[in-house]
Amino acid sequence: MADIDNLIELYEQHKFMYGRFLDNVRSFFLHEPSLNQPPLPIIHSLKWRLKDPEHLRDKLQRKLDSGDEINEQNLFEKITDFAGIRVLHLYQNQFVYIHTAIMKFVEEGEWKLVEPPVANTWDPESKKFFESLGLQCNVRDTYYTSIHYVVKPNNERNHVCCEIQVRTLFEEIWGEIAHCINYPHPTESIACKEQLRVLAKFISTGTRLADSIFKSLEEYNSRSDRENVWV
């Protein structure tokens, strides 16, 4: 069995490389013009981090306990979230622009996908929406909702990668509450599990309502512009 302390030390030795690529990914989302146009930028806010060594210890222990073989030779292939960034947006339809921008950057050769992007969802309507964009969907009975990309520099010699999570602000609220309750070890409280399920239903409703609000605003503004032309 691999020595967890040695694996953590190996990560620490390469941490600066992950930090450097994380800066690259963060800069893209901060400065990509299609995602940052006023008066309503597509991106609301960003969160980012390098994996905490103690959180890595917990993750490695869980994987090793489950029979997953992790060693110094495959550590950077098995763990793909040493660097992570979360992209938050207001309503679901904005995701189309974020997905398009990421894939365009990949197609232009700036980044390379380590694995196909995955849309984690439990909602049938959201599943249809993501599948319409060509995304693979992972139906989660935990009610977790987030789209995940794992990208790396377009350099075959470099093992460094970064996990990108994209979600709405509503989904972020649910995710933060669930994280507090279930990380690093899932709660056994039936009451908490049931209330998280109920909250997920409210979050789904809120996300759809936000989409409807901005669609109504767009229609109103379009109608007003046409009327002004005739004045």
CATH code, domain carrying 49? 3.30.460.10
Q: Are 115 and 133 in contact (CB under 8 A)?
A: no
pLDDT value of position 117: 98
pLDDT value of position 184: 74
pLDDT at residue 1 tops 60: no
Q: Report the number of distinct structural domains present in the chain.
A: 1
Q: What is the mean pLDDT of residues 197-210?
A: 95
Least confident window among 149-153, 160-164, 208-212, 218-222: 218-222
**Residue 120 covered by a domain:** yes
What does the pLDDT look like over 37-93, one tens digit per residue?
999 999 999 999 999 999 999 999 999 988 899 999 999 999 999 999 999 999 999
**Residue 95 covered by a domain:** yes
- Give the CB-side neighbour count of residue 15, counting CA atoms within 13 A: 13
DSSP state of 69: -
**Residue 228 covered by a domain:** no
pLDDT value of position 53: 95
**Residue 55 covered by a domain:** yes
**Residue 231 covered by a domain:** no
pLDDT value of position 230: 53
Phi/psi for 210 (5° steps) reads -60, -45
Determine what percent of the chain is predicted with pLDDT higher than 70: 96
Question: pTM of the prediction?
Answer: 0.93
Q: Can you spell out the DSSP letters for 161-187?
A: -EEEEEEEHHHHHHHHHHHHHHSSS--
What does the alpha-carbon distance between residue 59 and residue 66 come to, in Å, rounded to a whole number?
Answer: 11
Q: What is the mean pLDDT of residues 88-114?
A: 97
Range of the domain at 20: 4-170
User: CA 57 → CA 4, 61, 140, distances in Å?
Assistant: 7, 6, 25
